[in-house]
Amino acid sequence: MAPNSGRDRGATPGPLHWVKVTRAVQGSLWADSQKQENQARAPEIDIQSLRAYSQQQWLLRVVWKKVGVRRGSNVNKPETVHLVDMRRANNCEIMLTKIKMPLPDMMYIELFSSAILALDATVLDIDQVENLIKFSPTKEEMEMLKVYFWFQNHLSCLDLFSSMSDKFLRCQFDYLSSILLTFFLGFISLQNYTGNKDMLGRCEQFFLELMKVPRVESKLRVFSFKITFSTQVNELRSNLNTINDAAIEVKGSKKLRQIMQTILTLGNVLNQGTARGSAVGFKLDSLLKLSDIRARNNRMTLMHYLSKLISEKMPELLDFGKDLVHLEAASKIQLKLLAEEMQAVSKGLEKVEQELTASEGDGAISIGFRKVLKDFLHTAEADVRSLTALYSEVGRSADSLAQYFGEDPARCPFEQVTSILVLFVNMFNKARDENAKQAESEKKKLEKEAMKDRANPCSANKDGADSERARFISPNKKQVWLNCAKYEGL
């Protein structure tokens, strides 16, 4: 059973286990009821009232059982009373042990004026506040505690029912519970209760403390929003600025522009005489195909050739990737997620305003809460306004990046543009490094051969013999022979 499984218990009555008729026999009651004029006579079922009625029955049955109002029970027996679902209560107590704070101190009734009402993040961190939200008493649990206290204060009046027969209780219980709940639930005040709260479990006592704060769950959610607001806004602003910076860097890079023009020239040369030739531009994803086109030896790709060409003709362009400092970081940002985060911040601020308005009727208990919340709203609203303006600017900047490459932002969004560019930069750098490695390998090979030649010089006699033989060889054959002699170590 989940921790919050008690929240919906008793919300709806059980199913009606009837035998279903799937075909109405002509002339029967059911056939007649299918007619449109008869359907209009059926009363409309109020599902909310049905759920409320069912919940009332379950609520009073539970509390009635807990306080021992049944025949032969000892209502004065000092036992710990557990009203909350046991698994939820156990999880709640585990949470309380992690906070490691006495119950009254946790609510700051005296020294700290209540952690929730003071919105003091130095006392409760975000994890603790989230746990308090998770284990805030539900409306059902609050009503259960109120009913329990009412029973405790009126046990003498209810002793009469403990002597009645079970049959009588079963017959009258539904009617009695409806009257009782309708009559006194709205009049019970926990603040005026003077009964023995120590009989309750620790979870129930914790709920009692939380119930002293008006709309405790709403205030806790405001508290959570306030704690995380600065971090959330700063992260949003950082991501938005990263996107802006990346777009500016890409569009402002002269090196990238020259490389794109070089690729266009190279592509038109390769496609000369075909339908793909004489292009004025190319789609951005064509950049990724440069690594797919290979030479006949299957070792060099067109990307290797491009890198070699630029290295020989325009070496100052080889480090064009250094112009795109924010490109890789921007490629990992999803604009859709930023939009959702922006919406969450705006909605969170609306909830703060709603709770501030609602707390006006709380009285003296929420004076400090309202003061802190007003100060927070003053700065938070300014932050959200500037963030909204930045978000709009970034949206335009992201679209302009796709348009810069001749793409439609709807078909080639910002995320796709940046991902392609990141892959292209990485593939170009890889080809550049492989070319450099290959050139270095060939250089070492030539140096090794030169050292070998120097280590085995030809003797004077050998040279003389060669010269003597060379006189009898034609000029063309003489050169071939000398070349062969060189590589054969002759």
Provide the residue ranges of all domains of the chain, joining segments of one domain with +.
47-213, 228-404, 458-490
Q: What's residue 104's pLDDT?
A: 52
- DSSP class of 294: B
Expressed in angstroms, the distance from the first to the final Cα of the chain is: 92
Lowest mean pLDDT among 340-349, 350-359, 404-413, 476-485: 476-485
At residue 200, what are phi and psi to the nearest 5 degrees? -80, 155
pLDDT surpassing 80 at residue 207: yes
Per-residue pLDDT averaged across 52-68, rounded?
53
pLDDT surpassing 50 at residue 490: no
Taking only the tens place, the pLDDT of each residue in 98-112 is 766 555 544 433 333
Q: What's residue 216's pLDDT?
A: 86
Under 8 Å between Cβ of 246 and 329: yes
pLDDT surpassing 60 at residue 155: no
Confidence at 306, pLDDT banded by 50, 70, 90: very high
pLDDT surpassing 70 at residue 21: no
Q: State the Cα–Cα distance between residues 82 and 204, nearest whole angstrom.
A: 7
Place of tokens 């049905």: 50
Per-residue pLDDT averaged across 330-349, rounded?
95
Class of domain 228-404: mainly alpha
Q: What's residue 292's pLDDT?
A: 84
Q: What's residue 453's pLDDT?
A: 73
Q: State the Cα–Cα distance between residues 56 and 188, nearest whole angstrom.
A: 16
Pairs from 173-180 (Cβ < 8 Å, separation ≥ 24): 173/57, 173/60, 173/61, 174/57, 177/56, 177/57, 177/60, 177/61, 178/53, 178/56, 178/57, 180/60
Place of tokens 């790709």: 301
3-state secondary structure of 301: strand
pLDDT surpassing 80 at residue 367: yes
Per-residue pLDDT averaged across 117-127, rounded?
76
| Percent of the chain predicted with pLDDT > 70 | 63
